Structure formats: structure tokens, C-alpha cells
Homo-oligomer: A and B are copies of this chain.
Amino acid sequence: MLKEERHKLILGEVNLHNRVLLSDLGENLNVSIDTVRRDVKELDADRKLKKVHGGAIATGFLASNGQQAVFLQNEKQKIAEKAVSLLKEGQVILMSGGTTNLEVVRFFPRKTPLTVLTPSLQVATELLNYQNIEVIFLGGRLDHESKFAIGGTVIHTLSQIKADICFLGTGYLDPEFGLTEIDWEVVQVKRAMITASKKVALLCVSNKLFSTQRYKTCDLASVDILITELDPDSKKLDPFKQDIETII
């Protein structure tokens, strides 16, 4: 049998079943598993499929993460770098949604093993690109716009968790009124996330400072670490220093 014939047959199997085992392929094609392995390796290099431990999966089966331009990306990347510096091996992390948290994910270490819990569909999807990270989705009813799980289920699940640190994407932040949000349901989830974490790190682009909204998530005092793209000594941050322990 010609190599190309096998390639064709392998692709057929993979695309049909989404996932196949190398050992099965070898048996069906009557060649050694080494040959199948080399075939699959080639097809993987050609992006025709994805090779995984023990088998192969169809590329069509994997979600394509359409990276879209992020508003204030530079600022958010600075925040992301600072946030990632807080991570330690083996930690359990809670992450809310939002573009800033998405940026944090893109700065995650590729080796350090971590567990991340999130109610954000986008954050979860992005995290699945990291083999070293165990991703746990806090399921529940999903909000169509924010692609974020809300409602009693999420909150109940969160009540049974104590994470090491929580990366909270900010809606609105003000030294006097604390954290506020537009959406009442989101407030409920964020409150539950705060309760479910030993430390709360707030990720906040500086032009969200000094703004408020209808629903209150918590006071500044509930925040342990404030992360902005600014220098920690910046005058703009002075009004927050009284209530927040650490600003980086």
C-alpha cells in the first residue's frame, strides 16, 4: 500500500469519528503502529488533523478561536503581565470574564500546572489551548451577550469552592462607591466569586477608575490587590490606597 493511500484512509477515519486510536488504525491498515504514527505525524504537520497522545483528532472538531482586536489592548496586556506574575504552581484560580481576563489567559505560563475555574465561555475556550491547565467551567444559564454563566447554579457551585486567588474583571470602580456593575445577575456571580477566594485581584484599566453604575458588587475593602496598567505610585491611584492593601 502506498503511503498516500494510507494518509487518505486515515483522514477519512479521523474526520468520520472525530477521534481515532493509532492502534486501531494500524490494525485496519495492516501496518505497524510505527508507520501509522509517522503517517499521523506528517498529516499533523500538514494541519490535516491533530495528533494527540495515542491517537488523532479531526481539525474541524477543534474550535477556531477567532482572535479579534481588543480595545485598549496595550493597557490590558500590561495588566495581564502583572496578573500572571502572581501565579504559583498548583494554585486554584477563579477568573471572571471580560477582555482583560482574556488577555491574562494569553500571558499564562505554558508549563506551570494550574487549575482555573471560570463562568466565562470565552475564557474557558481560550484556556483549553493550555495543556498544563485544568479548566473547570462553572456551568449554568448563559447570558447571550456576555457569554457568561449566571444564575443560581453558578452561585451554588461557587459556594462550595475556596480558590487561592480570584482575577476579577472590573465593570466600574470608584474609591467611594467601590465596584459596581450594569447587570444585576453579574453582580451576584461576582459576589459569589469574591466569597469563594482567599485573595481577590481586581484587573482594571485606568479609565474605568472613578466611574460608577447601578448595582454594587462590593466595597474596595473586599479587594486585596488592584492591578492597573499604571505605575503603582501614580497619583491617580492615591484615592484607592487607603482601602486596598496592595496595588501593582
Residues of A within 8 A of B (CB): 2-5, 7-8, 11, 15-21, 48, 50, 52-55, 57-63, 65, 68-72, 98-99, 119, 121-122, 124-125, 128, 131, 134-142, 144-147, 149, 153-154, 157, 171-172, 182-183, 205, 207-208, 211
Contact = CB atoms under 8 A, between A and B. Distances in A.
Given A19-B182, A136-B140, A136-B153, 4 more contacts: A4-B19, A63-B121, A137-B149, A139-B140
A205 B18 CA distance: 12
Contacts of A16: 71-72, 205, 207-208
Number of copies: 2
Say whether chain A's binding surface is mostly helix, strand, loop, or mixed: mixed
A149 B141 contact: no
A53 B122 contact: no
B144 A131 contact: yes
Contact of A57 (B2, B19, B153): B2
Contacts of A50: 4, 145
B17 A5 contact: no
Contacts of A63: 121-122, 125, 147
A68 B52 contact: no
B125 A72 contact: no
A147 B128 contact: yes
Nearest to A117: B139
A139 B121 contact: no
A60 B147 contact: no
13 contacts: A2-B53, A3-B54, A4-B50, A4-B52, A19-B183, A57-B145, A58-B71, A60-B68, A131-B144, A135-B144, A136-B139, A137-B139, A139-B153
Contacts of A99: 18, 58, 60-61
Given A4-B62, A71-B16, A139 B138 contact: yes
A127 to B, nearest CB: 8
A121 to B, nearest CB: 6
Contacts of A121: 63, 121, 124-125, 128, 137
